[in-house]
Homo-oligomer: A and B are copies of this chain.
């Protein structure tokens, strides 16, 4: 049995975030001391670690709720879990694609100006003012 501070240290999830997860219904409300302080056990630690890991991988709270629901029913088909992971992968890939386009434009802009001129002649500002200077859609 350990305190919320201890749980926070072990999982590297901030205390207010732990309480927030509890309020959301993502993390079960733990036991309390007579003085109303939260006391966690190994199960709580495990669950919060799961949540943390999934959040770090970019899964939404809703997705994590669904994953936890599955975890709580070991005999159910895991099809939904793989679907969620596949969706997350698509999401990440879409984000990468978009960011790579942005990267190219930003490189072009940065190359276009040394920063030793005056704002009126700045290629960065001109580029932002005129999308036609861009090489790609974004």
Mark A residues whose CB is within 8 Å of B: 46, 49-50, 53-54, 56-58, 67, 70-71, 73-79, 81-86, 88-89, 92-93, 95-96, 99-100, 102-103, 105-107, 109-110, 113-122, 124-125, 128-129, 131, 138
Contact = CB atoms under 8 A, between A and B. Distances in A.
A109 B3 CA distance: 33
B105 A57 contact: yes
A62 to B, nearest CB: 15
Contacts of A102: 57-58, 92
A69 B69 CA distance: 51
Contacts of A99: 58, 92, 95-96, 99
A78 to B, nearest CB: 4
20 contacts: A46-B129, A57-B105, A57-B138, A70-B125, A73-B119, A75-B120, A78-B115, A78-B125, A81-B113, A81-B122, A81-B125, A82-B110, A82-B113, A82-B114, A84-B124, A85-B124, A88-B106, A92-B99, A92-B103, A92-B106
Contact of A53 (B67, B81, B128): B128
A87 to B, nearest CB: 10
Contacts of A79: 115-116
